[in-house]
């Protein structure tokens, strides 16, 4: 018979930025902007409390993404709690290209495992990551949300995989978040079924360079973040975002569309406050801009 832990368990999950320019559907970076969640087994029913981002929009029933993710993990462990209480304090913006859905999924599966006594023996980290990727459908945001740092991920005949790669301590980022959302489905719908071979070859070279640039040569980030596969095709859905990327890059700032957008991410060095301030000041009216460090931990459970 399954035994559940006494009292609530808590998790903290970082925002993430996928693609980073050329690394379409394969590269992701965790950012130190965190949703905080707690869950507790109760006598009966389901109670969902949501504060912060998405509080006015997300459901409070079994369709809530965190709850669905918890149920999936609990099912794999053969655990069926009599009731659940879930509290979400959301900081990651929704539908802005900063991995809010991946944060919810990683939080849900991690909460579920933590609620079950001996849960890590039933679902190890690799199994939990694979489950989260299956729920999301792709691993590029899930992987850094789970493992932290910079992660190269994908899917092959053996299933989902994730490989962490170093990040130079000088690397940080400014995120410039527009006020209006954009769904991933709309952004993906603008992509062509095929691209020119020359563009694919150029993108592969920049992706390889980006791994090296993030690891130890951030001076190469402008060249390394040049994208050939997706950003220009998505311009009609987020013209202001892509125009801002173009303007920043023209001034030598390594800027990209974060994930499917419309947030813009610009790499910046925390030790150069004037340079960071110059990027923050480029936020258009109505946008929110902030400096965020690279998160090294991924999901934290207590």
Q: Provide the strand spans (E) within 43-149.
A: 45-52, 83-90
Which neighbouring-strand residues pair with 265? 175, 256
User: In CATH, which superfamily holds the domain spanning 172-293?
Assistant: GHMP kinase, C-terminal domain (3.30.70.890)
Tell me how far apart the alpha carbons of residues 282 and 248 are, in angstroms, rounded to a whole number.
8
Q: Say whether 239 counts as a known binding-site residue.
A: no
Q: Say whether 102 counts as a known binding-site residue.
A: yes
Confidence of residue 289 (pLDDT cuts 50, 70, 90): very high
Considering the chain, what is the average pLDDT of its residues?
A: 96
Dump pLDDT digits (tens) for 121-136: 999 999 999 999 999 9
Q: Say whether 103 counts as a known binding-site residue.
A: yes
Q: Say whether 54 counts as a known binding-site residue.
A: no
Give me the pLDDT at residue 203, please: 96
Tell me how far apart the alpha carbons of residues 187 and 195 are, in angstroms, rounded to a whole number.
16
Q: Say whether 97 counts as a known binding-site residue.
A: yes
Dump pLDDT digits (tens) for 263-277: 999 999 888 999 999
Whether residue 1 has pLDDT greater than 80: no
Give me the pLDDT at residue 186, please: 87
Tokens read off for 6: 């006494």
Domain boundaries, the chain: 9-154, 172-293
Q: Say whether 89 counts as a known binding-site residue.
A: no
* Residue 84 and residue 67 in contact, taking contact as beta carbons nearer than 8 Å: yes
Residue 269: count other Cβ atoms within 10 Å of its Cβ.
16
Give me the pLDDT at residue 187, please: 86
Dump pLDDT digits (tens) for 94-150: 999 999 999 999 999 999 999 999 999 999 999 999 999 999 999 999 999 999 999
pTM of the model: 0.96
Confidence of residue 182 (pLDDT cuts 50, 70, 90): confident
Question: Taking the C-alpha atoms of 88, 106, 138 and 269 in order, what is their torsion angle to the nearest 10 degrees?
Answer: 80
Give me the pLDDT at residue 23, please: 97
Q: What percent of the chain has pLDDT over 90?
A: 95
Task: Please tell me which residue, 183 or 111, carries the higher pLDDT value.
Answer: 111
Summarize the confidence of residues 218-246 as an average pLDDT.
96
- Enter the CATH code of domain 9-154: 3.30.230.10
Q: Say whether 23 counts as a known binding-site residue.
A: no
Give me the pLDDT at residue 261, please: 94
Give me the pLDDT at residue 298, please: 98
Residue 71: count other Cβ atoms within 10 Å of its Cβ.
18
Give me the pLDDT at residue 271, please: 85
Whether residue 58 has pLDDT greater than 90: yes
Tokens read off for 253: 């700032």
């Amino acid at each position: 018979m399954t035994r559940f832990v006494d009292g609530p368990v808590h998790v903290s999950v970082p925002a993430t930025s996928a693609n980073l320019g050329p690394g379409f559907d394969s590269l992701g970076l965790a950012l130190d902007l965190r949703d905080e969640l707690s869950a507790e087994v109760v006598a009966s029913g389901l109670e969902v409390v949501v504060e912060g981002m998405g509080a006015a929009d997300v459901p409070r029933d079994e369709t809530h993404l965190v709850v669905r993710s918890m149920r999936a993990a609990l099912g794999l462990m053969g655990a069926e709690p009599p009731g659940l209480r879930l509290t979400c304090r959301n900081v990651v913006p929704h539908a802005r290209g900063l991995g809010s859905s991946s944060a919810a999924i990683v939080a849900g599966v991690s909460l579920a495992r933590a609620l079950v006594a001996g849960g890590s023996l039933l679902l190890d980290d690799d199994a939990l990551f694979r489950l989260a990727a299956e729920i999301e459908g792709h691993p590029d945001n899930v992987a850094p949300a789970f493992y932290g740092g910079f992660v190269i991920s994908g899917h092959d005949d053996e299933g989902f995989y994730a490989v962490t790669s170093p990040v130079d301590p000088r690397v940080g980022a400014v995120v410039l978040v527009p006020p209006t959302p954009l769904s991933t489905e709309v952004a993906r719908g603008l992509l062509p079924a095929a691209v020119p071979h020359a563009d694919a070859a150029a993108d592969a070279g920049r992706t390889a360079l980006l791994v090296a640039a993030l690891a130890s040569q951030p001076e190469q980030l402008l060249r390394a973040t040049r994208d050939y596969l997706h950003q220009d095709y998505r311009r009609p859905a987020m013209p202001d975002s892509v125009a801002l990327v173009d303007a920043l890059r023209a001034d030598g700032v390594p800027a990209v569309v974060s994930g499917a957008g419309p947030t813009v991410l610009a790499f910046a060095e925390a030790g150069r406050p004037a340079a960071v301030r110059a990027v923050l000041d480029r936020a258009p009216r109505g946008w929110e801009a902030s400096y965020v460090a690279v998160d090294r931990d991924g999901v934290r459970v207590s």
